[in-house]
Amino acid sequence: MDAGSESKLQLVHRHIRAFPDFPKKGILFRDICPILKDPAALTAVIDLFEEHVKKNHKRVDLIAGLDARGFLFGPLLAQRMGVGFVLIRKKGKLPGATVSVAYDLEYGKAEAEIQADAVSPGQKVLLIDDLLATGGTLYAACELMRQQQAEVLGCMVVIELKELNGIDRVKPHSVFSLVQY
């Protein structure tokens, strides 16, 4: 990584704050809100994602963002890359015909969905979210893309919580994370 990229990464890291015991006792919550509040930090995130994509993927057709924080970074990256952006939402939030996948969370079950016409067979898609923890949501997103016969090029997150091994859940897909804890 060159000095400019390293400097951007340090800026991003400085703008992530920790909240102990949120949303419940024993959890150390990593908050990205300071990144969003600081234009330079937000630009650094998108710069670093763009650099990764250009270095590792010759062709990208779509960026798919996961509900809800993937919606913050995904459109900015998609616009920068000159590609479309699609939403992967919690069940019941999208109009029209949808395709859904059920998945397990740490403390229950959930469903993710995409509009049936959002992704075409063969399209090359990058998935983006703010955080990789246990990997359930990213796994569901990968499964949605598989159902749509799209090719998942990889997953990108701002933060990866390595001790939760979420990366194992999304294999064989690669995960690029800016900051790891």
- pLDDT tens-digit series, residues 130-140: 999 999 999 99
Interatomic CA distance for residues 124 and 16, integer angstroms: 30
Interatomic CA distance for residues 120 and 95, integer angstroms: 18
pLDDT of residue 76: 98
pLDDT of residue 81: 98
pLDDT at residue 163 is higher than 90? yes
pLDDT of residue 16: 98
Token output for 80 = 């920068």
Give the residue among 99, 52, 113, 50 at the shortest CA–CA distance from 79.
50
Cross-strand bridge partners of residue 66 = 88
Question: Which of the residue ranges 43-57, 100-114, 141-155 would you say has the lowest mean pLDDT?
Answer: 100-114
What 3-state DSSP class applies to 25? coil
At 119, is the pLDDT very low, low, confident or very high (cuts 50, 70, 90)?
very high
pLDDT of residue 129: 98
CATH number of 3-180: 3.40.50.2020
Contact between residue 56 and residue 126 where contact means Cβ atoms under 8 Å apart? no
Among 50, 51, 80, 106, the active-site one is 106
Domain boundaries, the chain: 3-180
pLDDT of residue 82: 98
pTM (predicted TM-score): 0.96
Interatomic CA distance for residues 164 and 180, integer angstroms: 11
Query: Quick check: is 69 catalytic?
Result: yes
Contact between residue 32 and residue 16 where contact means Cβ atoms under 8 Å apart? yes
pLDDT at residue 108 is higher than 90? no
Query: Quick check: is 59 catalytic?
Result: no
- pLDDT tens-digit series, residues 8-44: 999 999 999 999 999 999 999 999 999 999 999 999 9
Among 30, 69, 89, 169, the active-site one is 69
Positive or negative torsion for Cα 157, 123, 72, 49: positive
- pLDDT tens-digit series, residues 48-106: 999 999 999 999 999 999 999 999 999 999 999 999 999 999 999 999 999 999 998 76
